[in-house]
Chain A
Amino acid sequence: MAVDTTALTTGADVTAPVRGARKGKRRRLLFLRNAKAITGMAILGFFGVLAVIGPWIAPYDPSAVSTAILKPPSAQHWLGTTHLGQDVLSQIVVGTRGVMVVGLIAGVVATAMGVLIGVTAGYIGGAGDETLSALSNVFLVIPQLPLIIIIAGQLPSAGGITVAMVIALTGWAWGARVLRAQTLSLRRRDFVEAARANGETTWRIITSEILPNLTAIIASGFVGTVVFAVLSQITLAFIGVTSVSSWNWGTVLFWAQGNLALQRGAWWWFVPAGLCIALLGTGLTLINFGIDEFVNPRLRSTGLNAGSLRRRGIRPRVGFTPVVHEAKEQ
């Protein structure tokens, strides 16, 4: 066993500084220095640009029928064609906008609700807190996807904005719960007490003392909600609850499944859309890891892989968590 007794000698050899030369100025860009955050931002940026310019750069009209039926990827159709000869690449490129817009709207609305309810609950305390946190716990426990499905299924026409609203209405609870816990712990801190003793208004205490300290949590809650919204929306489109006439990645999968793409072996029809979802989701998750590591230095080293630990001269052991960046800059 590699670990054995060395657990006792931790600490001493943990902080071995590796690269001492460059410090100082890089500190403020800590978040952007994080490799995970950069990768995540790059992926998000890519899809963001695609969402804006997608309809212009798509090689074909995504709904246009042609004679090239169910063709595998070729020079004309990079991602092949559907059973009607539609270009799969164009469908995905054009569909990006729908996915991103719904994700963004749902994320913003749900985060706003979460902040409003969570911070209020944490700050006012007492009976109001009990009620609000019971409310968010109820929404946490009720399975969201079936709820979204039955609401969207009963709406006469479920377009993008409606779906985003439904997702936001059911998905705010997690953020509210986390924010409430954090607000509770902030509420009794000295700087908040000081502001209160100075006679600041409640509104000012919340907006300029408490909210700035919640930024990272709000940001990661936002990113998490966007992931949830994207997945839900695509699932809804896939099972045909929402309008299947506008393109998004879920609609592509809906038509693929409905027209036996699996049985016909038309992998180019359903693989790319799923990969896009996974890539976008991974990008957002990476951003979240970046935020977490930015906030909690302890996690910075746990996120490092074996190779980079070795490069930094840190031998991983049971029983210690090296705080890598901090140790370097002292």
Chain B
Amino acid sequence: MKFFVRRAIFYVITAWAAVTINFLIPRMMPGDPVAALIAKNQGRLDSSAEQALSVLFGLDSHASIWTQYVQYWRLLLHGNLGLSFSYFPTPVVEVIKQSLPWTIGLVGIATVLSFVIGTLIGAGIGWRRGTWADMLLPVSTFFQAVPYFWLGLLCIALFSVKLGWMPASGSYDRSMVPALTPEFAGSVIRYGTLPALTIVLSSIAGWILGMRNMMVTVSSEDYVTVAHAKGLSERRVMFGYAARNAILPQVSSFALSLGFIVGGTLVMEMVFSYQGIGWALYTAVSNHDYPLMQGTFLVITLSVLVANAVADVVYALLDPRTRQEG
């Protein structure tokens, strides 16, 4: 239990830090871009929306920083992140609510797929070290160094422009009305395949390399030798003894690198104009829509924290040592 309590405390602290960073950034920036935006939209904003924006961005310079902070938290807890300027006059929360499911669907599925496939491949080539499978290593090193979005550009150029197999942008056929029909689901899958494929392709290298190195390390452990000596089948030794232990660091590095991967995949959404959180962030950045920018960052961070917590639970389930402590 001690493990979970420690982790829970850590996540609470991190969430608090993320909110505080979000609070501080606009206040530390030179100039008041939001004041200019409000002035530009004078008359279109009602007074409560203006009030919320001034709390969120610290325009009310009379109030002390502490009062501002308390007011800021009050707004957040009421789920008020201000109005989006690029989708005026939709509230930021509404924009996020619409885009989050798309991101979770695309990035979530693609990341898990890449983790599972990469770990399996890594286990395979780590086990069969010194065969043709090692050829995969330089290739995956190269893929690790390629920026995610550029791979996305290449895939669009190849599969949608040149070959015309897949649509280049969007998340479903715009002529359809979103509904729970097989046609619509088919369209979503058709539009999601290429972005998902690109995400898997660009993030898989890290999992392959990590798992391979762990397999190499683990395979020289005594218990693997003993398992061989007992005459267990190759497959049993590989999965039941070696891979089973090698996967632990994989899971903990999954938690650690999640932030990095999510960052990269959000850019992928920008490349594919996929209407998720990354696209919302992109719209916000290119339209100087500060409330939406802040809101998406908060949501991205909180989602990563939740995913991290899930990875922690999985780790505890896999490794009995974490459960025994304390």
Contacts and interface: CB of A to CB of B under 8 A. Distances in A.
B228 A282 contact: no
Contacts of A309: 130
A153 B285 contact: yes
A204 B3 CA distance: 37
B29 A155 contact: yes
B22 to A, nearest CB: 8
A306 B134 contact: yes
A316 interface: yes
Contacts of B46: none
Given A5-B228, A265-B162, A285-B145, A134 B10 contact: yes
A66 B296 CA distance: 41
B62 to A, nearest CB: 22
Given A147-B297, A150-B297, A154-B29, A142 B224 contact: no
A282 B142 contact: yes
Interface in B72-131: 127-131
Nearest to A235: B267
**B-side interface mostly:** helix
Interface stretch (B47-55, B174-182, B184-192, B298-306): B298-306
Nearest to B288: A153
A95 B301 CA distance: 32
A135 to B, nearest CB: 8
B1 interface: no
Nearest to A274: B150
A3 B300 CA distance: 46
Interface in B272-315: 281-282, 284-286, 288, 290, 293-294, 296-297, 300-301, 304-305, 308
A145 B293 contact: no
Interface residues of B, number: 74
A75 interface: no
Given A153-B285, A154-B26, A274-B150, A305 B262 contact: no
Interface in A129-181: 134, 137-138, 140-147, 149-151, 153-156
A215 B27 CA distance: 38
A239 B213 contact: no
B301 A316 contact: no
Among B130, B154, B216: residue with most chain A CB under 10 A: B130
Interface stretch (A48-56, A117-125, A317-325): A317-325
A150 B301 contact: no
Contacts of B304: 141-143
A145 B153 contact: no
Interface residues of A, number: 66
A239 B285 contact: yes
B154 A271 contact: yes
Contacts of B17: 138, 142
Nearest to B29: A154
B316 interface: no
A302 B126 CA distance: 9
B293 A302 contact: no
Among B220, B258, B264: residue with most chain A CB under 10 A: B220
A16 interface: no
B296 A146 contact: yes
Nearest to B277: A146
Interface string A277-292: 1111110111001000
A1 interface: yes
B13 A138 contact: yes
Contacts of A319: 219-220, 224-225, 228
B308 A145 contact: no
Among B134, B156, B308: residue with most chain A CB under 10 A: B134
A234 interface: yes
A321 B305 CA distance: 38
Interface in B126-184: 127-132, 134-135, 137, 141-142, 144-147, 149-151, 153-154, 156-157, 161-162, 168
A145 B264 contact: yes
Given A151-B25, A286-B141, A234 B225 contact: no
A179 B129 CA distance: 30
Contacts of B135: 305
B65 interface: no
A277 B267 contact: no
B63 interface: no
B266 interface: yes
B263 interface: yes
B326 interface: no
Given A142-B304, A154-B33, A318 B263 contact: no
B145 A278 contact: yes
Nearest to B212: A302
B30 interface: yes
A274 B147 CA distance: 8
Interface of B: 10, 13-14, 17-18, 21, 25-26, 29-31, 33, 127-132, 134-135, 137, 141-142, 144-147, 149-151, 153-154, 156-157, 161-162, 168, 213, 216-217, 219-220, 224-225, 228-229, 234, 256, 258-260, 262-264, 266-267, 270-271, 281-282, 284-286, 288, 290, 293-294, 296-297, 300-301, 304-305, 308
8 contacts: A141-B305, A142-B14, A142-B18, A144-B260, A146-B263, A273-B150, A278-B145, A309-B130
Given A141-B259, A144-B260, 6 more contacts: A142-B17, A146-B263, A146-B300, A149-B285, A153-B285, A235-B147
